[in-house]
Amino acid sequence: MPDLNPLPTSDMTREEIARVEVGHTAIDPRLALLLTVVFLAALLAVLLVETLAGGDPAATSPWRRLFAMPSAVSAGPGSQDLGGGWRAWNRAMSANRTALAEIAAFENVLDESSVLGRALRPPAQRLLSGALGAGNERVYLGRDGWLFYRTDVDYVTGPPFLDERQLRRRAASADEWTAVPAPDPRPAIRQFHRQLADRGILLVLMPTPVKPAVHPEKLTPRLEEPREPLHNGSFQPLLEELRREGITVFDPSPQLAAARRPSAPQYLATDTHWRPEGMELAAERLAAFIREHVELPAAAAPGYRYEEREVSNTGDTTVMLDLPEGQTRYAAEAVLIRRVLQADGTPWRSDPEADVLVLGDSFSNIYALASRGWGDSAGLVEHVSAGLGRPVDRFVQNDAGAYATREMLQRADSARLSRKRVVIWQFAERELASGDWRLIDLP
């Protein structure tokens, strides 16, 4: 290709010529035009495919969200009462957060619903995971076919969640759309403890270890030998602080880490949650812990019995990896659960009249709800109830263990709480670093 702007090199040193050539690119105008046309055609082709395959853009969820964005921003707190000074600044920043949150939500929905994305991501991920050993933005590939939820790994290996800079960063949020109103777990835990103590109820805090805390050897061979569970740097200081303040804490991680063996894993290989063996071990130790710390009134034997059943399912981290349907690299896992049955043979039932209440997240639900695909009537609450030999009440939700179940308790009939002697608050340990710890007033 001819150089359209030849350089006067006769009187220049080699270094001077090199410097000039580094900052000098000559391109034929016809080639520049061709590249521009190809680039614009590629952009328009993507838009055309998405529009034709997705039907009316206004009727599809991502575009509907985009069209509603101005209304969402105008209805947000940043649009109201624009007074002077700092109040106007704060409201403008609030409106900016609303706009960024709406943009992020639109991008997420668009990404999930994209025709090209759904067509191209699975084969691309199969290549990345199979040939290159790479996960994606949500999943890390471990050893021996194990998968790890990235948030869990980041929690264990990340900075201490009680570090003042971390708390300020999360409160202010460098990423505006991920702002958390209350990042520090301590005020919410103290408030809940006081609220229950004033009613004569014992709070038992149960932060449940995430998979890399118990099975770090599946991430790196350097941690092959049995040892203490791994935790975020703020975890043990937090437990010590809470215990000094009289808050009862049950930490099942030492027992789970001590029980792990190559032939006896405590967590599922391709899921974020524990195996039935690990869950039952935690339930057994929790029931014993409760008997040691509170004297419950005598209760008639409920006559519970067990029924063994094998179930198999695809792990949630396998689903998050977004591989093609029918992939065989990460097969469904089979486990043996023990269902807890009533005396009449029907599945175990929660009892609102019980004096023990469990607030739990997906670690409580995984073997309890058939919709999760791992069987039913065999979860943490069922086995705690069987271990105590008495009915148990429960409020459970699969996510947001720091906030959701307390909110459910707030909405419940106050008479239901008045009958309780013990409230077990189970949540995934990662919530300490990423949960929403807003204060909630109980009725």
Lowest-pLDDT range, 75-84, 222-231, 405-414? 75-84
Residues in the chain: 443
Q: How many CA atoms lie within 13 A of 351 on its CB side?
A: 15
Interatomic CA distance for residues 106 and 118, integer angstroms: 16
As a whole number, mean pLDDT of residues 232-248 equals 96
- The answer to whether the beta carbons of residues 73 and 95 sit under 8 Å apart is yes
Q: Higher-confidence residue: 371 or 12? A: 371
- The answer to whether the beta carbons of residues 185 and 405 sit under 8 Å apart is no
Interatomic CA distance for residues 386 and 368, integer angstroms: 14
Q: What is the pLDDT of residues 82-114, one digit of tens each?
A: 455 556 666 676 677 777 777 777 777 766 666
As a whole number, mean pLDDT of residues 167-193 equals 74
The pLDDT-based confidence of 174 (bands split at 50, 70, 90) is very low
The pLDDT-based confidence of 194 (bands split at 50, 70, 90) is very high
Q: Which residues contact 378 (CB under 8 A, 6 or more apart)?
A: 276, 309, 337, 338, 339, 340, 367, 368
**Angular region, 38: left φ>0, alpha ψ -120 to 50, beta rest:** alpha
Interatomic CA distance for residues 226 and 230, integer angstroms: 11
Average predicted confidence (pLDDT) for the chain = 83
Output DSSP code: residue 226: -
- What residue segments make up the domains of the chain, in order of their start? 29-113, 149-434
Strands 147-149 and 139-141 come out as: antiparallel
Query: Residue 423's beta-bridge partner residues?
Result: 203, 357
Of the candidates 384, 413, 379, 419, the residue with the CA atom closest to the CA atom of residue 396: 379
Interatomic CA distance for residues 262 and 224, integer angstroms: 10
Interatomic CA distance for residues 105 and 101, integer angstroms: 6
Interatomic CA distance for residues 179 and 175, integer angstroms: 7
Q: How many CA atoms lie within 13 A of 169 on its CB side?
A: 12
- The pLDDT of residue 331: 87
In order of 59, 104, 218, 347, 352, the CA distances from 46 in angstroms are 18, 20, 40, 51, 54
Output DSSP code: residue 177: G
- The pLDDT of residue 126: 59
Interatomic CA distance for residues 68 and 50, integer angstroms: 20
- The pLDDT of residue 290: 96
- The pLDDT of residue 41: 86
Q: What is the pLDDT of residues 43-76, one digit of tens each?
A: 787 667 666 665 545 445 666 666 777 777 666 5
- The pLDDT of residue 385: 97
Q: What is the pLDDT of residues 106-150, one digit of tens each?
A: 777 766 666 666 665 666 555 556 556 666 788 889 888 899 999
Output DSSP code: residue 412: S
Interatomic CA distance for residues 167 and 135, integer angstroms: 29
Q: What is the pLDDT of residues 297-314, one digit of tens each?
A: 988 889 999 999 999 999
- The pLDDT of residue 176: 44
- The pLDDT of residue 19: 72
- The answer to whether the beta carbons of residues 270 and 145 sit under 8 Å apart is yes
In order of 121, 124, 161, 283, the CA distances from 324 in angstroms are 8, 9, 36, 37
Of the candidates 99, 67, 94, the residue with the CA atom closest to the CA atom of residue 82: 94
In order of 244, 247, 335, 422, the CA distances from 206 in angstroms are 16, 11, 24, 13
- The answer to whether the beta carbons of residues 145 and 209 sit under 8 Å apart is no
Q: Higher-confidence residue: 163 or 173? A: 163
Interatomic CA distance for residues 18 and 231, integer angstroms: 54
The pLDDT-based confidence of 1 (bands split at 50, 70, 90) is very low
- The pLDDT of residue 9: 54
Q: Which residues contact 296 (CB under 8 A, 6 or more apart)?
A: 290, 355, 356, 388, 390, 421, 422
Percent of the chain past pLDDT 90, that is, above it, reads 48
Q: At what angle do helices 115-131 and 29-54 cross, to 10 degrees?
A: 110
Inform me whether the pLDDT recorded for 180 exceeds 60.
Answer: no
As a whole number, mean pLDDT of residues 30-34 equals 87
Percent of the chain past pLDDT 70, that is, above it, reads 77
Long-range contact pairs involving 3-10 (C-beta distance under 8 Å, separation at least 24): 4/28
As a whole number, mean pLDDT of residues 266-285 equals 96
